[in-house]
Amino acid sequence: MKFSIKLFVLFLCFFYNQSYVFAQKSIDHNIFFEQKLEVFGLGGIPWDEGSYENERGRAWMDAMHHAYEQILSITVMDGKEVKHILHTNNALKERLGMILMSASKTFYQKDVSGLVRCKLEIPISGKLSLRSAFYLAALRPQPMQPTGFLASWSAKVEADENEQPSPYKRIVIDARKFDFIPALFPRFFDERGALLFQEAMIPQAERFSRPVVLFSSDMIKARAGLESKEIFTLSATMHELHKSDIIVKSEDLKEFKQFCNDILHSPLKQREIMIVYNPNKTINMGSMKKQENKENTNIKKAN
């Protein structure tokens, strides 16, 4: 009986620890900083000169499997990852297969262990990239999914030609104090919850190969390359349950709308939205803030 109790307690401890681990979202931040995914694959130890090519092939296939697994976990937008879209969009499956097959691969000489290694580089932006795969896959109609898999893909947004062009070339958003999770297509809302901008609103194919929204962990690098008068620092906040969405504050709403209208009207202009966030900040996906006691809440209301 005592052994059964100990075994049950041990199981609970293991289950709790595993639940906490899975609550932490593992993110490869270099995917968003460098706009490419790098993975390594291992082959076996060649036993003769003729088997070296076979081991190269095994290392390449191992790298392909690792790359595919990481691509599935990339956040597309808040609450939606690549794997969530892949099940309902056959066109995206075809495009991902083409991207993996055409990805740049580098083979390394045998190391001390004698294993053959392969490095695979999958571009996130470019003509043949993950972003272009989403664009081309969304063009193909889905009988079971009439609307686009991006929330604002089918949004009928038209640029206001009478609007004056924005004097800024880059908007910088400081999200380092928030639990921000980078995404391929983050959304921007006003404080009322109305959608202001997402790159899916832009119909031109060129925009999907060259991203508008970029990411950095260094504020100095985020502001580099332009004069101060060409950069606008945006006041923004986030909702604790939507960690990939940005909420634009009312005092900067006019400048942001003017900037986004300029992007819609001339998508090939040099216009960037740079989000600066802290990649080392721990994000507990399965936890929420502890609610205050009712007594404390009543005291605050009375005051």
* Per-residue pLDDT tens over the stretch 141-195: 444 443 444 544 444 445 556 667 888 999 999 998 888 999 988 999 988 888 8
Lowest mean pLDDT among 16-20, 216-220, 260-264: 16-20
- Phi, psi (deg, nearest 5) at residue 124: -85, -35
> Do β-strands 80-81 and 75-77 pair in parallel, antiparallel, or remain unpaired?
antiparallel
The pLDDT assigned to 143 comes to 45
**Domain ranges within the chain, ordered by starting residue:** 27-139, 170-276
Amino acid identity for residue 223 in this structure: R
Asked if residue 208 has pLDDT above 70, the reply is: no
> What gap in Å lies between CA 173 and CA 232, rounded to an integer?
9
| Strand order, beta sheet including 104-108 | 36-42, 117-123, 104-108
**Residue (of 267, 244, 252) closest to 188 by Cα position:** 244
The pLDDT assigned to 156 comes to 44
Lowest mean pLDDT among 84-93, 137-146, 238-247: 137-146
Q: What is the pTM of this model?
A: 0.76
Asked if residue 21 has pLDDT above 50, the reply is: no
Mean pLDDT confidence for 216-235: 92
Asked if residue 104 has pLDDT above 80, the reply is: yes
Neighbours of 298 (CB within 10 A): 11
The pLDDT assigned to 11 comes to 45
| Strand order, beta sheet including 170-174 | 213-216, 272-276, 170-174, 231-234
The pLDDT assigned to 147 comes to 42
The pLDDT assigned to 65 comes to 94
Which numeric CATH code is attached to 27-139? 3.30.1660
Mean pLDDT confidence for 264-280: 85
> What gap in Å lies between CA 228 and CA 287, rounded to an integer?
39
Q: Are 55 and 210 in contact (CB under 8 A)?
A: no
The pair of three-digit structure tokens given for residue 2, joined into one six-digit string: 């005592």
The mean pLDDT value of the chain amounts to: 77
Neighbours of 294 (CB within 10 A): 8
The pLDDT assigned to 28 comes to 82
User: Residue 227: pLDDT band by 50, 70, 90 thresholds?
Assistant: very high
